[in-house]
Amino acid sequence: MAFFDNPVIPGFSPDPSICRVGEDYYVATSSFEYVPGVPLWHSRDLVHWRLIGHALDRPSQLTLPDDAPSSCGVYAPTLRYHDGRFWMITTVVAGAGNILVTAEDPAGPWSEPVPVGIPGIDPDLAWDDEGNCWCVFSHGGIRGVRIDPETGELLGEPVEMWSGSGLQYPEGPHLYRIGDWWYLLLSEGGTERGHAMSVARARSLPGPFEPHPDNPVLSHRSTGHPVQNTGHGDLVRAHDDTWWMVLLGTRPRGDTPKFHGMGRETFLVPVRWEDEWPLPGPLELRAEAPRLAPHAWPAEPHRDDFDSPALAPCWVSLRRQDPDAVRLGERPGHLMLRARADGMDRPGALFVGRRQRDADCVARTRIDVGDEGRGGIAVRLDEAHHYQVEVEDGTVRAVARIGPSRTTVAERRVPAGPLTLRVDVTTEDVLPPTVTVRPADPDAEAPSGLRVGGPDTLRLGYETEDGHVEVLAELDGRYLTTEVAGGFTGRVIGMYATRGEAAFDWFELRPA
């Protein structure tokens, strides 16, 4: 018996939508304010996934305003395969609205977006036996309408279909024709701890739909399960005729109410059928694997030496792609960043990062800012919640932005020239809800009565030429979590420039 570990796509990878073509499986996930938009993943066993590209990978498809709020941008996509083509429909909040793109190969190229004239969010696509394309979406409930997928034109007025069991925020609908029934799967209760999944069925469209008598059919709310916020799932029938579901969940840690820093991740659960109803679960962190031929892809490199002519698909930027500000090849073996704003909390901030995928990890980079630059390494949740280690004018400093407060926690003079900056994320011990600045008095005792707080500790520092790690500060990880900051994303760790230019020789993000 083979087993696999959940999540199958760790790190900030929410709202998964899945489709199968033969023995190949593809998943699309949300990207919010990061570009390129809509990551696309490929698997042959539902367990091992590799990033093959993005559906919205060029400025003509996706550019967000510099002042678009964090957690706006690209919401829950639906990925489908029909009539020899891949179809992806999604909502660009604070942007183009609902759009649809197509491709013959999910790795691209994808078409220019076609606007779809529906309101609301979370659109879904399904085709009936007559070839009609139905678009189901969330707008004051779950509604559906026939559309022309080539033009985005509505072929009628949207009608209410089914809006769940009465919980708040019915959303993320997916419509399926399976056997003699149409099934409508949706999430409700909000994407926080109350998240749940419910299902209904109808003999024909647009209904009426009858709900499962025991809805919700999956939820971890009010339980001690290590995975919470479960919902927004999508069904797939494997090529061995078993059924599975991908869905989002979080792994909160620390003191009450517990906190998750890596965002909503993609999990895999089996689906059983009872009385012609699909029932997902259970969700386990270590579970029996699908009985498909195992197919492990080569591991994604932890280190990038910036020797390639283009950035790897794992790298994302904020809101727009800017080849004038993000340059490879100009200085051999370096990534050059040119500042667009004077702070990480300013509109237009230049940041290039990778998703945090391991709870315990180390991020390192070698930076040279010359005489007039300022830049560094940052762990980012949003504009108002990030930690930075930066170098400027022979000074290295640790900076914490928490809500309205931006604080230089510690700084130190360093020799001129390239410097290796470092962030260690550890769950082995967590701090009281205060900032500890190094060097600390080794004889001092911690104040009594303080409770352990966040899910992890972030150590910000740099390395000397002989490899010694100098820790400038240790910060509580709770302030870089959705429970504190709000929003829909997870941590992204990467490089930035906030004055002049910064040259990065390499970047490494590896499990600790």
Catalytic residues: 15, 171
Handedness of CA 301, 307, 313, 314 (dihedral sign): positive
Determine if the peptide bond prior to 439 is cis (ω within 30°).
Answer: yes
Helix (H, G, I), strand (E, B) or coil at 46: coil
Alpha-carbon gap, residue 47 to 292, rounded angstroms: 10
Alpha-carbon gap, residue 364 to 377, rounded angstroms: 8
Asked if residues 245 and 269 have their Cβ atoms less than 8 Å apart, the reply is: yes
Per-residue HEC secondary structure of 169-192 comes to CCEEEEEEEECCEEEEEEEECCCC
Determine how many CB atoms are found less than 10 A away from the CB of residue 208: 10
Please give the structure tokens belonging to residue 190. Answer: 């909000």
Nearest to 460 by CA among 441, 476, 443: 476
Nearest to 164 by CA among 205, 140, 192, 198: 198
Alpha-carbon gap, residue 277 to 378, rounded angstroms: 47
Location of structure tokens 């429970």: 483
Please give the structure tokens belonging to residue 89. Answer: 């429909």
Residue type, 194: G
Relative to beta strand 405-413, strand 419-426 is unpaired
Nearest to 475 by CA among 389, 366, 351, 414: 389
Alpha-carbon gap, residue 476 to 252, rounded angstroms: 15
Nearest to 430 by CA among 459, 460, 404: 459
Helix (H, G, I), strand (E, B) or coil at 148: strand
